[in-house]
């Protein structure tokens, strides 16, 4: 049986009010993907913030088990990056590529994609859509897990101020 390619699209703060879920916000490309791929209608979010939510999805573990109890850019991290789904997929012949943001490892060292275990980094969020399309059109010989992270819909997040926590 041929192994399917896996395209994991994720964005910040987009919500569910888009065309594939029956709402008026026109998203024709997402609609086409939903029609030709898989659309989850009975899903829930395991955590209310970005990093822990993604970590739960990609490890299959709740945040209290995987270690991602807060935002990656605030110093939180997975206990064990080998629990990320891409490592399981690799054992089954997949290659793993990242285009855009991933938000489960800190970007401070510039090699977060390596820390997680991606085989290739295709570019930052400003070129994610183009880089992902070029990767897919290159027709890789192996099945792939391609993570494409978009930030265009992200709301501004205030800086932490200790005096505000009083």
Task: Give a yes or no: residue 60 inside a domain.
Answer: no
Residue 1 is assigned to a structural domain of this protein:
no
Whether residue 56 is contained in a domain is answered as no
Residue 68 lies in a domain: no
State which residues form the domain around 112: 6-38+85-154
Q: Are 135 and 118 in contact (CB under 8 A)?
A: no
pTM above 0.75, yes or no: yes
41-59 pLDDT, tens digit each: 888 889 988 899 999 999 9
Would residue 22 count as lying in a domain?
yes
- Please report whether residue 113 resides in a domain: yes
In a domain, 131, yes or no: yes
For 111, phi then psi, to 5°, come to -120, 30
Q: For residue range 104-143, list pLDDT tens digits in order.
A: 888 766 788 999 999 999 988 788 999 999 999 999 999 9
Active-site residue set: 50, 103
Residue 21 lies in a domain: yes
For residue 46, the SS3 value is: coil
The count of domains in the chain is: 1
């Amino acid at each position: 049986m041929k192994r399917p390619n896996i395209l994991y699209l994720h964005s910040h703060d987009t919500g569910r009010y888009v065309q594939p879920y029956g709402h008026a916000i026109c998203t024709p490309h997402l609609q086409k993907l939903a029609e030709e791929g898989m659309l989850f209608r009975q899903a829930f979010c395991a955590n209310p913030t970005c990093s822990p939510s993604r970590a739960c999805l990609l490890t299959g573990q709740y945040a209290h088990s995987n270690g991602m109890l807060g935002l990656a850019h605030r110093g939180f991290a997975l206990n064990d990056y080998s629990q990320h789904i891409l490592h399981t997929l690799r054992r089954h012949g997949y290659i793993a590529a990242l285009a855009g943001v991933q938000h489960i490892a800190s970007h401070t060292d510039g090699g977060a994609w390596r820390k997680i275990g991606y085989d290739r980094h295709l570019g930052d969020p400003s070129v994610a859509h183009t880089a992902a399309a070029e990767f897919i059109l290159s027709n890789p010989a192996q099945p792939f897990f391609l993570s494409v992270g978009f930030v265009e819909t992200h709301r501004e997040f205030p800086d932490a101020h200790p005096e505000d926590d009083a």
